[in-house]
Structure 1
Amino acid sequence: MRRLLIALAPLALVAACATPPQPPAGWTPPMAAGMGGSAYGAFLAGQGALNDGKGAEAAAYFAQAELEGGASDLLQDRAFTAAVLAGDIPKAAALAPTGEEASESTKRMGQLVKGVEFMAQGQGKPAYEALTGDKIGFPHRGAAALLAPWASAMAGDVDGSLVRPEVRSDRVVDYFGQLGQAYLFERARRYDEAETDYKALTGGDTPGDMAVLAYGAFLERRKRGPDAVALYDRALAAQPTSQGLAMAKARAATGRGAPPQPTLRQGAAEVLIAPAAGMLGAKQDQLGLAYLRLALRLDPTRNQAWLMVGDLMEGAGDLEAARLAYAKAKPGSAEYPAARAKLAWSYQNAKEPETALKMAQEAAATGDADAKITYADLLRANDRYAESAEVLSSVIGDGAAPDWRLLYARGVSYERSGRWPEAERDLQAALKIRPEDPELLNYLGYSWIDKGERLPEALGMVQRAVAANPQSGAMIDSLGWAHYRLGDYKKAVELLEQAVELEAGDPEINNHLGDAYWRVGRRIEAEFQWRRVLTLDPDDRIKKDIEAKLANGLGPKGPAVAPRVAGQ
């Protein structure tokens, strides 16, 4: 059944550039030059790799094109972009284009890259000059403004480092500029002013992890462990699954091992993560990747950035680069369980389930709860439902308030493995915690509908699910199937046709529509739907049902199932 709608391994996608490549200005047609097309071919191959987000491959092609056909402004422009995306920032800084034929956007990025490279080499003064000049321009003003105070500190200008950056109407700069100012106040030993900034950043109902962890670390360094624990507790109440907060609280409770103050390069890298995330959220994936590469040039140990790079690389289809990025997270870090999970899912998505399961099982054997959940998800993705339920049970335990998502996942595993009473118990318990969650309403409602149980109640549940997600073909199918079970075949046809329009390739929805057509006397259309289902790679249960209906020519067995009391 196609009812489990929760995403198990969401991945960022890299958008390809739609602009067709043009040959570098001044190039002679390759055949006339006697090159056999190799230079321009290398240029085109490099442009294709660049569009796919494969910076290292693109850089190699552009180097070949330059070797074969000579340099040009446009070729330098492309080679610079490829070097940035590949993470070769020293080379990119050397290639930063300034020529008339280079694009203005690339020149502006070149200024940012040069500023970052100066910082990576500890040259604060030229970095500050590069980051504050008129050449930066849109869309890099925010990133440059966030970096400039750190460049001032690197140049020894303490007063300049404490000036809070401002860019009109840029909330990212407002927030992370204040966070950077708090770090730099602490660095200048102006602790009261640092704490004022930290309190302002963490005073809301749901403060961000980054600000909470920064303030907590500050408190720990000031030998105020109980205050740090109280801060982490308040944040954990809103984000109970945060691994970073839980680890920080455990550390603070011991009163030992306060994290050191970030270095100037580390602090500068941290403030670049937010603009990178903003670019990715706006679907500007190449710019987002470029910012992540710049952050990693400043701090190669920043796990969060490596995970984001891995997601981008996997979305672009570069599995080797993605796996290298995921492997950068160090054991014991807050990001390590997520990195291992992403690494395992990269093998699952590449149709290598045995490798994925082996990796996940090894991680789960450490006892880490997140690793166990990943293992359970992968077991479920490979139809090993009973094992998945067993692993989830070890995570849920006997806690008084289990996570509703874990109950939902275990309920699915129980239902798929034929243990309906346990499944029903978990799904109802999850729904009690999240009474209006459309996925839960749909899953439990559909399960009752398919079994012919509690039909009026189930109908109301899937109606609420559809109201919340009116474009969900699976949920509209549940509603149509409810009307079918209640004997309203005309309404069932109407809804199931809508569901098929939204989910044309779903075998179960098409099978349901065929049954509904049969009930209203549209026999030819019913048989057409059933035959179509056989082309959609149905599971064995649906395939057997379809073949039986087509073989006997009698359509669905018996009348629609009438309501019956649950448990009978």
Structure 2
Amino acid sequence: MTFLKTAKMCTTGVAAALCLSGPTLAETTDAGAYLAARQAGIGGDYSAAAAYFQHALIADPNNPVLIQQTLTAYLGSGQVETAAAIGRTFTASGGDSQVANMAIMAQAARSGNWGTIFDMLEAGHEVGPLLDGLGQAWAFVGLGQMDRALASFDEVADTPGLRNFGQQHKAMALTIMGELEAAEAIYSLPPNEGIVPTRGSVSAHLQILCRLGQFDKARGIVTRAFGSDMDPEIAELRDAIEAGQIPRLDNTVSNPAEGLAYAFKSLSDILQGEANESYLLLYAQAARHIAPQDADTHIAAARLLNALEQYNDAAVTFAQVSTEDPAYHSAELGRAEALRLDGQHDKAIEVLTQLTRSHPDLPLAHASLGDVFRQQSNYAAANSAYDAALEANDADTSIRWWLLYSRGMTHERLDQWDAAEADFRAALDLNPGNPSILNYLGYSLVDRGMKFDEAVTMIETAAEARPDSGAIIDSLGWAYYKLGRYEDAVGPMERAVELAPNDPVISDHLGDVYWKVGREVEARFQWARALSFGPSDEDADRIRRKLNLGLDAVYAEEGVDLEPAVEVANDAN
């Protein structure tokens, strides 16, 4: 695809722009500010990078490398107006930069200065084949030149690999123009001729059908497209159609600026896996700037910030979504996750608690709250949250097995084994052969000295399905160990340490296995390694006792014939 080729060429452009240096740069810039800016940019902290680069630029305002780095940092941090101003100055001095052109196009669209886009493209300042074509087409719409706009959309559609984009944006433009029949005709084409179905395109098609009074056709499409497992936004759309009402879609394209914003956001979405997140963030930030009222643009940018480990910025961006927007629940789930990843667990709990009150029928809100409580080892609160999630969840939905599995883990940690086993087996009924469930249930049975044959079979099945999971392979080796099959345990435990070399539980387990087969020097080495990886205080004390006294003496102190499990190595924390 043409636009993908261009994107791949630019995949490393952001990192390269932030790392470029040379003798001239080093000799003339503020070295401290420049180095701080580079470090911040490489780490994905565009806000800090922009401030440092701007400081360095004051000392060396005409350096093209530094200008491009500053442009990238400002666009990546969402300061598009500033990036566009720098870009215009850079372009006027004879420079050319894809990032500058992106910022200039985004600022022109937000301001309604459509002529600027034509001037930029005619001067040869390009963003890429797809955005250049769609930018020109939407600029024609903005100027009211509809015939030329439709012809431009057709040119995009006729470009190899871009038919879907040209057709979708043409349908959006026709909808804005009030040509609903023509737009619906495009949406009804087979995907290879018209538009590949997505959540957004199907929703737009449904709204057009309802505006045309074709509610029966809309009802059939919504059922085929989304089934019965719907989130609140789609459920609201379905309910409106069932009631014979035109559904409200806050994020539909209603003007040419929103159309171009949709193009920028689409590129940030479809290039996932093809380009790095720092590059994709530039497109998402441009989309946010053009259409700041569009929840989808905020969510797209926030998710990329999360991927770049800029969790606080991600949380702030998620929070830009209005409480009245149908996507509010999705944004709040994202905000809570960003806060959790940032270590702000109390704030994450606060966000999710409020979401469970405003959306009591949303299982993911309760489940996410349970996950945070479980991470904090507050298993009783987690259990209550999972209870609420299951109560809000329909029995036939795709996430029910996960809810049962999660609650089973909290029951197990609360020593409510009968309830835990019931949940695990119910989860297996819904998702037979799931390695995570098999591993946890099998290990727990071994740990309790119950149903050994079934338990080992479960863990072996999980290991066959997930041979590269250190946690599951550890469970297999540890199950053999608990059964006294010490020689059989050596291979799996060594493999588990290879797969998860920094896990203190697994290294500790390997030490115990080595001790039991007479490899005491190697056992002490593994215990020492386990201590270096930060085990829990309780586990650390026990490991030190093993290092000082040996495993047999620790067993004797504890009055057991075989060591009780220190911790369930679990791949679903």
Q: Quote how far apart the aligned CAs of 1:21 are.
A: 4.1
Match of 1:9 in 2: none
From 172, 176, 179, give the equivalent of 1:190. 179
Amino acid at match of 2:377: D
Shift of 1:359: 2.6
The correspondence of residues 530-549 of structure 1 with structure 2, limited to 5 A, is 530-539=527-536, 542-543=539-540, 545-546=542-543, 549=546
CA distance change for structure 1 residues 46 and 507 in 2, over 3 Å: closer, same or farther? Answer: closer
2:430 pairs with one of 430, 433, 444:
433
Shift of 1:257: 5.7
Which one-letter code corresponds to 1:79 in the other structure? Answer: T
Structure 2 residue 218 is matched with structure 1 residue 218: no
Could you tell me whether the CA contact under 8 Å between 1:489 and 1:519 is conserved in 2? yes
Report the counterpart of residue 291 of structure 1 in structure 2: 283
Which residue of structure 1 lines up, in the alignment, with residue 7 of structure 2? none
Whole-angstrom CA distance in 1 between matches of 2:461 and 2:436 = 10
Letter in 2 for 1:508: V
Alpha-carbon distance in structure 2 between the residues aligned to 1:374 and 1:234: 28
Percent identical among aligned pairs is: 28
Counterpart of 2:114 in structure 1 is 124
CA deviation string 1:58-89 (max 9, x = no partner): 33333333333443333322232223223233
**Aligned equivalent of 1:208:** 198
Q: 1:514 to 1:273 in 2, by over 3 A?
A: same
CA pair 24-265 structure 1, distance change in 2 beyond 3 A: farther
Question: Mean alpha-carbon deviation: is it higher for 317-326 or for 535-544?
Answer: 535-544
**Which residue is equivalent to 1:401?**
396
- The answer to whether structure 1 residue 242 and structure 2 residue 234 are counterparts is no
- Report deviation, 1:413: 1.4
- Name which of 212, 227, 233 aligns with 2:223: 233
- Deviations along 1:198-242, one digit per CA (max 9) or x if unpaired, are 2347799x942112211122223223444434322322227x253
Asked if structure 2 preserves the Cα contact closer than 8 Å seen for 1:24 and 1:72, the reply is no
Match of 1:4 in 2: none
Aligned counterpart for 2:561 among listed residues 558, 562, 567: 558
Q: Structure 2: how far apart are the matches of 1:359 and 1:19?
A: 35
Structure with a larger share of its residues in helix: 2
Q: Does 1:418 align with 2:442?
A: no
Does the alignment pair 1:500 with 2:502? no
Q: CA deviation at 1:378?
A: 0.8
For residue 518 of structure 1, the aligned residue among 515, 518, 526 is: 515
Structure 1 gap segments, 5+ residues each: 1-13, 31-37, 562-568
Cα distance in 1 for partners of 2:113, 2:374 equals: 52
Contact in 2 for aligned 1:147/1:268 (Cα 8 Å):
yes
Of the structure 1 ranges 128-137 and 273-282, higher mean CA displacement relative to structure 2 is found in: 128-137
1:78 aligns with 2:81: no
Letter in 1 for 2:111: Q
Instruction: State whether residues 55 and 82 of structure 1, in contact with CA within 8 Å, keep that contact through their aligned partners in structure 2.
Output: yes
User: Which residue matches 2:471?
Assistant: 474
Residue 158 (structure 1) aligned with residue 140 (structure 2): no
Taking a change above 3 Å as real, the CA distance of residues 202 and 421 of structure 1, as seen in their structure-2 partners, is farther
CA pair 341-231 structure 1, distance change in 2 beyond 3 A: same
Match of 1:348 in 2: 340
State whether residues 36 and 49 of structure 2, in contact with CA within 8 Å, keep that contact through their aligned partners in structure 1. yes
Alpha-carbon separation, structure 1, partners of 2:435 and 2:141 = 51
Query: Residue 138 of structure 2 aligns to which amino acid in structure 1?
Result: W
Tell me how many residue pairs correspond in the alignment.
531
Structure 2: where are the runs of 5+ without partners? 1-12, 565-573
Matched, 1:136 2:136: no
2: CA distance, partners of 1:315 / 1:406: 25
C-alpha RMSD over aligned residues: 3.2
1:357 corresponds in structure 2 to 349
1:113 to 92, 103, 112: 103
Against the structure 1 CA distance between its residues 110 and 17, is the aligned structure 2 distance closer, same or farther, given a 3 Å change threshold? closer
Shift of 1:297: 1.9
- Report the more deviating stretch, 338-347 or 411-420: 338-347
TM-fit CA distance, 1:416: 1.5
Rounded Cα–Cα distance in structure 2 between residues aligned with 1:150 and 1:58: 33
- 1:358 and 1:44, CA in 2 relative to 1: closer, same or farther beyond 3 A? same
* C-alpha separation in 2, matches of 1:438 and 1:133: 58
Measured after TM superposition, the shift of residue 420 of structure 1 is: 1.4
TM-score w.r.t. the length of structure 1 is 0.83
Moved more, 176-185 or 66-75: 66-75
Q: Is the 8 A contact 1:136 1:144 kept in 2?
A: yes
Of the structure 1 ranges 508-517 and 192-201, higher mean CA displacement relative to structure 2 is found in 192-201
Separation (CA, whole Å) in 1 of partners of 2:48 and 2:529: 42
Give the Å deviation of 1:481: 1.9
Which amino acid in structure 2 is aligned with residue 22 of structure 1? S
Q: Quote the Cα distance in structure 1 between the aligned partners of 2:14 and 2:116.
A: 34
Asked whether the equivalents of residues 18 and 42 of structure 2 are also in contact (C-alpha less than 8 Å), the reply is no
Structure with the larger RCO, 1 or 2 (CA within 8 Å, 6+ apart) = 1
Matches for 1:310-349 after TM superposition, within 5 Å: 310-349=302-341
Look up the SS of the partner of 2:322 in the other structure.
coil
Q: Is the CA contact 2:157–2:165 (under 8 Å) kept in the aligned structure 1?
A: no
CA distance, structure 2, for counterparts of residue 381 and residue 201 of structure 1: 47
1:175–1:201 Cα contact (<8 Å) kept? no
Paired residue for 1:450, among 447, 468, 472?
447
The answer as to 2:21 corresponding to 1:22 is yes
TM-score computed with the length of structure 2 as normaliser = 0.83
CA contact (8 A) 1:493 1:513 kept: yes
Q: What CA distance in whole angstroms lies between the structure 2 residues aligned with 1:506 and 1:482?
A: 18
What is the aligned partner in structure 2 of residue 392 from structure 1? 386
Q: Call closer, same or farther: CA 1:492–1:176 in 2, change over 3 Å.
A: same
In 2: Cα distance, 1:413 partner to 1:430 partner: 14
Deviations 1:480-530 (A, max 9, x none): 123223433222111101101211222221222122112212233223333
Contact 1:220 / 1:228 at 8 angstroms: preserved in 2? Answer: yes
Given that residues 146 and 272 in structure 1 are in contact (C-alpha distance below 8 angstroms), is that contact kept between their aligned partners in structure 2?
no
Structure 1 position 474, deviation (Å): 0.7
- Write out aligned runs for 1:159-174 (5 A): 159-162=147-150, 163-164=153-154, 165-166=156-157, 169-170=160-161, 173-174=162-163
2:532 aligns to what SS in structure 1? Answer: coil
Deviation at 1:559?
Answer: 4.9
Distance 1:274-1:460 versus aligned 2 partners, 3 A rule: farther
